[in-house]
Chain A
Amino acid sequence: MLRFLIRRLAFAAVLIAITSSSALLLARLAPGDVTSQLGPFASSVDVENTRRRFDLDRSPLSQWGLWVGRAIRFDFGDSFLYNRPVAPLVAQAAANTALLGIVSLVTATLVGLSLGVFTAARTGPLPAFVRGLSLMCLSLPPLVTSLALVFVAARTGWLPAGGMVSASVSEPRWSAWAIDVLWHLPLPVLALALPMAATFERLQSQTMGEALNQPFVMAAVARGVSGGRVLLRHAWPSSMRPICAVYGVAIGALLSGSFVVEFVTAWPGLGRLMFDALRARDIYLVAACAATGAAFLAVGTTAGDLLLAAADPRVREQ
């Protein structure tokens, strides 16, 4: 167990180092630099100062070395766009993205798995309807769903069409802020969770169907174990393995999906921050965003592996 965790930690470190370094170097080598944000009439002194402030007067490699040296002491540099250190900026955006991602993942899991067990265990018009519905939802990528939901929200005014906090909620009262965020949450969560819930439903239905045909289920029924108990205590655990395996992959899809959803619904997350940083060639911000994204990935895949180990004793043996 300890060895497993150490290995994952090393993997995470490597992943974060590679992605952030390559993001930094790519952004540095990209045509144009952050001084173009100063506008065409900036004095040459300003341009010179800005270039010095962001180490653009050095060669890319020596800049990278400097950045690595500071980053291991948790100094990630300044953002030009926001004129602040990047660490708190990225932390805020990452928290917003994590909120969106975790709520979506939990929703998708609860809805998907329970419906999957239902469609596998029962026959009739209702399960057939659920199956059809999830096939539809599978084909609704977050880009399409979020646009459609924003349209519905704009048309009906049932939910706010974008953003995370209303402009009117500016007072620092914690409860008012939380309620406002909760009010803004359903739309992006729905857009992100729908296709994922459908994926989980289809997968759970498939594996549950296979599990129900296993001899040990028949044996349990023969012993007189009640139907619900057979379903939940016998068949379900053995059907969990492929689903846990998908969890590790789901995190990548979740991050990709959240980029689009954040963009469409103006959710102030990592995706939008990174996009703006990339366009402005705000290199330290780009690097920090990439590092955070990689950290999310590492956490996600590790969580997936732990789940897999919890569900399947054979994995634990390795």
Chain B
Amino acid sequence: MSSVKRLAWSLLVIVALAAIGAPWLSPNEPNRRFDDLLYAPPTAIHVVQDGLHAPFMYRLHVVSRLERRFEVDTSRRVTLRWFTDARLVTADADAGTPLLLLGADAYGRDVFSRLLFGARATLAVALVSALLATALGAFAGGVAGYMGGWFDSVLSRVCEFVLVLPAIYVALILRAVLPLVLPAWTVFVLLIAIFTLLGWPIVARGVRAIVLVEREREYAVAARAAGASDGRILLHHLLPASLPFLRMQASLLVPAFMLAEATLSYVGLGFPNTIPTWGTMLQDASNVALLGDAPWSLAPAAAIFIVVLGVNLLAQDRGRAPVQLEP
């Protein structure tokens, strides 16, 4: 395994572990509001105060809520609690100050915990839509390439048409013409449906080209001569030939869909703000006046970068031209 590949995999595995382990790794409930701590800065963890101690932090006092000024009270140490309440690390509930590893957002919610939980929603949407788009594209492209005829020409035209459209605008229109405010689960299903609709033509076009070549190969001809049915030839002989392409394409679709979710949620047409996703979290960053003082609102942007970088490094390692930042 090359070092680039190892780096790429470790980035992706870290993100996956963060998403899976969110309830245990997060120090606070993602939706709990600390009313005194709107836009509070990240908590610093110390180990030294007149000698070495177990990791501890100081209490944070709000000085001016309006100016978002805070003061650290260094008179008393608040020792971190490990492995309690089914959490890896957290602050004592009666210590009066929460552990905010990445600060707090506009509602005084823990950004770090929301980032971990946000990974779940964001990646779930991206993964499910990438899988569906790949499956649908493989099926449609395979049938078109194998059968040819009118189905093939209609499908090719449709693919070309969808591919030429700027994806985010299509997603925007499709989302915006539905009721603007919807419950979270409906949004989840809706986004997946929209992304699948946008993503399948890329896959279909590639698979069609592969099947078109493969069906003339000796093994396909032999299978036909042996009396295999069309379905069997397509499913067991031709489509497996496109597996490397499918794997590649699916991995490129994931970051594209992740970005699409983030964009839609950022502009307010994705998940409602109570659901932590990387897109809804970025809404805090849209307040330019506050952004300068609260760089931690950009944490989800950094997370997005890590995922895109991981996938791009993998693609690069396979010697493929990396890609498109949109489906």
Contact = CB atoms under 8 A, between A and B. Distances in A.
Interface of A: 15, 18-19, 23, 26-27, 29-32, 135-136, 138-144, 147-148, 150-151, 154-155, 161-162, 195, 199, 202-203, 206, 249, 252-253, 255-257, 259-260, 263-264, 271, 274-275, 278-279, 286, 290, 293, 297, 301
A255 B176 contact: no
Nearest to B171: A256
A203 B324 CA distance: 12
Given A147-B285, A202-B322, A139 B309 contact: yes
Contact of A255 (B166, B285, B295, B308): B166
Contacts of B169: 255-256, 259, 271, 274, 293
Given A30-B177, A147-B285, 4 more contacts: A148-B301, A252-B166, A255-B169, A260-B168
Interface of B: 161, 163-169, 172-174, 176-180, 259, 262-263, 266-267, 282, 285-286, 288-289, 291-292, 295, 298, 301-302, 304-305, 308-309, 312-313, 316, 321-326
B166 A143 contact: no
A161 B267 CA distance: 18
B166 A297 contact: yes
A301 B164 CA distance: 8
Given A151-B295, A260-B263, A290-B173, A144 B164 contact: no
A141 B304 contact: yes
A243 to B, nearest CB: 11
**A-B complex: 9 closest residue pairs judged by Cβ atoms:** A154-B292, A30-B177, A139-B309, A278-B176, A255-B166, A139-B308, A256-B168, A256-B166, A144-B301
Contacts of B168: 256, 259-260
8 contacts: A141-B325, A143-B282, A147-B285, A257-B325, A259-B168, A260-B266, A278-B177, A297-B166
B239 to A, nearest CB: 26
B157 to A, nearest CB: 11
Nearest to A195: B325
Given A135-B313, A259-B168, A297-B164, A147 B301 contact: yes
Contact of B309 (A136, A260, A263): A136
